[in-house]
Structure 1
Amino acid sequence: MVIAGSGYDMNLMRTFVVVYETRSVTEASKALFVSQPSVSYALSKLRKFFSDPLFLRNRTGLEPTPVAESLYPQMVQAIWLMDSVVQNATDFKAAETTRTFRLMMTDLALMALFSFVVQAIQAKAPRARIEVTLLDVAQLEDKLRRSEIDGAIAVPTFSEDIVVRDHLMDMPYVGVCAASHPRLSPEPTVEDLVAEQRIEVSGALGHQHVERTLSDLHGHQQPPIALPNYSVVDETLAATESYCVVPLFLGDMFVKRSPVRKFILPFTLEPGHVGLHTLRRVAPSPPVEWLRHVVAEALVAYPYPQHIGDYDDSWFTN
Structure 2
Amino acid sequence: MLDLNLLRLVVILAKEKNVTRAALKANITQSAFSHALNRIREQLNDEVFVRTRNGMEPTPYAASIIPVIASSLDRLEAVTRGAHAFDPLRDAHTFYIGAVDYFEFMFMPVLTARFKQLAPNVRLSVDILSETIKLERIEMGQLDAFIGVDTLQHVPHYYNKHPLISDHFVAIASKDRTDLPSVLTIRNLVTEPQIHLPAVSSGADHIDRWLSAQHLYRPLATVVQSYAVGGRVAVTSGYLMCVPYRIARELADMLPLRILELPAGLPSYELNLLTHSLFDHQPALRWLINELKNAHIE
CA deviation map 1:186-242 (0-9, x unaligned): 013222333322222224368622233356678446522222332322222222332
Give 1:278's aligned residue. Answer: 275
Give 1:101's aligned residue. Answer: 95
Give 2:209's aligned residue. Answer: 212
Aligned residue for 1:187, secondary structure, equals coil
Give 1:117's aligned residue. Answer: 111
* Aligned residues between the structures: 218
Give 2:144's aligned residue. Answer: 150
| Alpha-carbon separation, structure 1, partners of 2:280 and 2:293 | 21
- Are the aligned partners of 1:164 and 1:278 in contact in 2 as well (CA < 8 Å)? yes
1:224 to 218, 221, 229: 221
| Structure 1 unpaired stretches of 5+ | 1-82, 304-318
| Alpha-carbon separation, structure 2, partners of 1:153 and 1:191 | 33
Amino acid at match of 2:176: S
**Structure-2 change in CA distance of 1:124 and 1:183 (3 Å):** same
**Structure-2 change in CA distance of 1:240 and 1:86 (3 Å):** closer
CA deviation map 1:128-154 (0-9, x unaligned): 333221143011221111111111222
1:191 to 180, 187, 191: 187
| Alpha-carbon separation, structure 2, partners of 1:149 and 1:214 | 34
The percentage of counterpart residues that share the same residue type is 18
Q: Which runs of 4+ in 1 moved over 4 A?
A: 83-86, 214-218
Aligned residue for 1:231, secondary structure, equals helix
Amino acid at match of 1:238: V
1:87 to 60, 70, 82: 82
Give 2:250's aligned residue. Answer: 253
1:293 to 287, 290, 293: 290
Aligned residue for 2:227, secondary structure, equals coil
Give 1:164's aligned residue. Answer: 160
| Alpha-carbon separation, structure 1, partners of 2:258 and 2:200 | 26
RMSD: 2.7
* TM, length-normalised to structure 2: 0.64
How big is the shift at 1:281? 2.9
- Are the aligned partners of 2:210 and 2:267 in contact in 1 as well (CA < 8 Å)? no
Amino acid at match of 1:123: Q
CA deviation map 1:56-108 (0-9, x unaligned): xxxxxxxxxxxxxxxxxxxxxxxxxxx979612x3333333222211122233
How big is the shift at 1:160? 4.4
| Alpha-carbon separation, structure 1, partners of 2:160 and 2:260 | 35
Amino acid at match of 2:106: A
Give 1:269's aligned residue. Answer: 266
How big is the shift at 1:248? 0.6
| Alpha-carbon separation, structure 2, partners of 1:188 and 1:107 | 25
CA deviation map 1:284-305 (0-9, x unaligned): 21111111112222x1x221xx
Amino acid at match of 2:107: L
- Are the aligned partners of 2:145 and 2:276 in contact in 1 as well (CA < 8 Å)? yes
| Alpha-carbon separation, structure 1, partners of 2:214 and 2:173 | 17
Give 1:200's aligned residue. Answer: 196
Verify: 1:137 aligned to 2:134, yes or no.
no
- Are the aligned partners of 1:150 and 1:288 in contact in 2 as well (CA < 8 Å)? yes
| Alpha-carbon separation, structure 2, partners of 1:189 and 1:104 | 35
* TM, length-normalised to structure 1: 0.61
- Are the aligned partners of 1:161 and 1:280 in contact in 2 as well (CA < 8 Å)? no
How big is the shift at 1:258? 1.9
**Structure-2 change in CA distance of 1:276 and 1:189 (3 Å):** same
Verify: 1:302 aligned to 2:297, yes or no.
yes
- Are the aligned partners of 1:201 and 1:226 in contact in 2 as well (CA < 8 Å)? yes
